[in-house]
Amino acid sequence: MKTTAKTLANWQRIYAMSFASVYPMYVAKAAKKGRTQAEVDQIIRWLTGYPQKSLASHLAKGTTFEAFFGKAPKPNPARKQITGTVCGVRVEAIEVPLMQEIRYLDKLVDELAKGKPMEKILRG
C-alpha cells in the first residue's frame, strides 16, 4: 500500500487517539452480533500479550493507540497470519507497523462480529 503525506497525517491523528475512546465501539460492534465484551478482551489480549488487569489499566488511563501498541508486552507472532481487508485496504500490505497493528485489531473484531469461531479468529 502506498502511503501519502495525507494518509500519514490522518494516521498520526489516529495514533494520538485514546484507545479507551475506540474500545466501546469495538464492544458495541461485537454486541450487535451477539458477541461479548469478554470475547473482545480475549482478542486484544491474544494480539498484544496484555493481561486483563493491564488492559483495564490502559483503558482507565486513556492510553493512546501509539503507546498501547508500542508498549504491548508480547505481540502474538501469529498475528502475521491475519489477512484480508479493512476499509478497503489489505492489512498485510500496510507498510507502517503501528497502523498495521491497529488494523489487525480492527480485522479481528470484524471477524468476531461476523460470527467466526474464536479458535479461527485467534488463528488456532
State the pLDDT confidence band at 3, using cuts at 50, 70 and 90.
low
Task: Read off the pLDDT of residues 7-21 as tens digits, 9 standing for 90 and up.
Answer: 767 878 899 999 999
pTM: 0.92
- The 10s digit of each residue's pLDDT in 76-114 is 999 999 999 998 999 999 988 999 999 999 999 999 999
What pLDDT score was predicted for residue 6? 79
Instruction: Express each pLDDT in 62-77 by its tens digit.
Output: 999 999 999 999 999 9
Closest residue by Cα to residue 43 from 86, 105, 114: 105
| CATH fourth-level superfamily of 5-121 | uncharacterized protein sp1917 domain (1.10.8.290)
- Listed by start position, the domains of the chain span 5-121
Instruction: Assign residue 62 a region (left: φ > 0; alpha: ψ between -120 and 50; beta: otherwise).
Output: left
Predicted pLDDT at 11 = 77
**Any bridge partners for residue 64, and if so which?**
18
